[in-house]
């Protein structure tokens, strides 16, 4: 258990710098991002910034790399899309603007960060258009999706940030289990998806850890939605809680 929690600390720390996990599977977000949302000159400026400030860690080909004990994630190709699919350009912009470069976060201007987003879009095959990207609420509508707009269902791996819903059960020594839980999906930043009160519960069972901060929201026999980091072991699956949303609905029989 201690090894698991130590590993989670590392993953949580990296997650804050790398951005959110992919969004809910099976949905069909808008494909606005494929309509040309940045200009070619903006992407060229972003490439200049990338070469000067980002390529040492993320590699010239945007493939990511290892910097000491830290991992610089891929910003291009399948690894980038696997991490960012169903998330949006606003999240990427704020991640770059507020947490990069490593060691000196916050030194980039809005224009420089937007240029980097434009360059990442260009590198990943998203087309240029007539108007430049701007730091506005519209960035949230630019969801990273394949060209046909369909989000592929992806396997949930260990230490992925997931979202599920189920019934709370309290056991000995203040242990907690989520029973009759739905199949976990990759969690999106922000609000939960459809409320557990409005969905069919499932057949999954998860052992919940790090419940202390959420104890006031834990009510045995009631349905909740949760987010957390998942760990699949041969004999059980654990979720390290990062968010809990009570539905107020009893589970019944």
Whether the per-residue pLDDT at 231 is higher than 50: the answer is yes
Last residue of a domain, one of 141, 172, 198: 141
Q: Is residue 44 part of a domain?
A: yes
Q: Is residue 10 part of a domain?
A: no
Last residue of a domain, one of 141, 170, 198: 141
- The 3-class secondary structure across the chain, one letter per residue, is CHHHHHHHHHHHHHHHHHCCCCCCCCCCCCCHHHHCCCCHHHHHHHHHHHHHHCHHHHCCCCCCEEECCEEECCCCHHHHHHHHCCCEHHHHHHHHHHHCCCCCCCCCCHHHHHHHHHHHHHHCCCCCCCCCCCCCHHHHHCECCCCCCCCCCCCCCCCCEEEEEEEEEECHHHCEEEEEECCCEECCCCCCCCCHHHCCCCCEEEEEECCHHHHHHCCCCEEEEEEEEEEECCCCEEEEEEEEEEEEEECCC
More confident residue, 53 or 68: 53
Q: Is residue 232 part of a domain?
A: yes
- Tell me the pLDDT tens digit for each residue of 235-253: 899 999 999 999 999 987 6
- The pTM of the full predicted model, rounded to 2 decimals, is 0.54
Task: Look over the chain and give the mean of its residue pLDDT values, rounded to a whole number.
Answer: 82
Sign of CA dihedral 164, 169, 174, 175: negative
Last residue of a domain, one of 80, 108, 141: 141
Q: Is residue 2 part of a domain?
A: no
pLDDT-wise least confident of 42-51, 111-120, 163-172, 181-190: 181-190
Q: Is residue 129 part of a domain?
A: yes
φ and ψ of 142, to 5 deg: -95, 85
Task: Check whether residue 30 and residue 115 sit in a common domain.
Answer: yes
Q: What's the CATH code of the domain at 51?
A: 1.10.760.10
Segment 197-217 shows an average pLDDT of 85
pLDDT value at position 177? 97
Task: Check whether residue 38 and residue 124 sit in a common domain.
Answer: yes
pLDDT value at position 82? 77
pLDDT value at position 25? 37
Q: Is residue 9 part of a domain?
A: no
Task: Check whether residue 56 and residue 129 sit in a common domain.
Answer: yes
Q: Is residue 8 part of a domain?
A: no
Task: Check whether residue 91 and residue 182 sit in a common domain.
Answer: no
Q: Which domain holds residue 114?
A: 26-141
Q: Is residue 90 part of a domain?
A: yes
pLDDT value at position 210? 94
More confident residue, 118 or 88: 118
Q: Report the number of distinct structural domains present in the chain.
A: 2
């Amino acid at each position: 258990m201690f090894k698991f929690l130590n590993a989670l600390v590392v993953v949580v720390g990296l997650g804050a710098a790398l951005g959110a996990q992919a969004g809910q599977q099976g949905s069909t977000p808008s494909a606005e991002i494929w309509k040309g949302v940045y200009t070619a000159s903006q992407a060229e400026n972003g490439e200049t910034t990338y070469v000067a400030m980002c390529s040492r860690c993320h590699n010239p080909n945007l493939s990511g790399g290892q910097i000491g004990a830290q991992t610089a994630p891929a910003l291009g190709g399948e690894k980038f899309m696997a991490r960012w699919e169903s998330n949006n350009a606003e999240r990427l912009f704020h991640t770059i603007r507020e947490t990069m470069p490593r060691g000196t976060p916050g030194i980039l201007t809005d224009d420089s960060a937007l240029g980097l987003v434009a360059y990442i879009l260009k590198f990943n095959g998203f087309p240029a258009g007539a108007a430049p990207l701007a730091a506005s609420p519209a960035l949230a509508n630019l969801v990273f999706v394949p060209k046909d707009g369909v989000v592929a269902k992806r396997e949930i791996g260990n230490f992925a940030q997931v979202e599920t819903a189920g019934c709370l059960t309290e056991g000995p020594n203040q242990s907690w289990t989520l029973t009759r839980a739905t199949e976990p999906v990759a969690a999106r930043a922000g609000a939960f998806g459809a409320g557990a009160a409005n969905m069919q519960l499932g057949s999954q069972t998860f052992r919940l850890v790090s419940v202390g901060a959420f104890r006031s929201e834990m009510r045995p026999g009631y349905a909740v939605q949760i987010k957390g980091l998942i760990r699949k072991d041969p004999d059980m699956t654990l979720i390290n809680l990062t968010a809990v949303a009570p539905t107020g609905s009893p589970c019944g029989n």
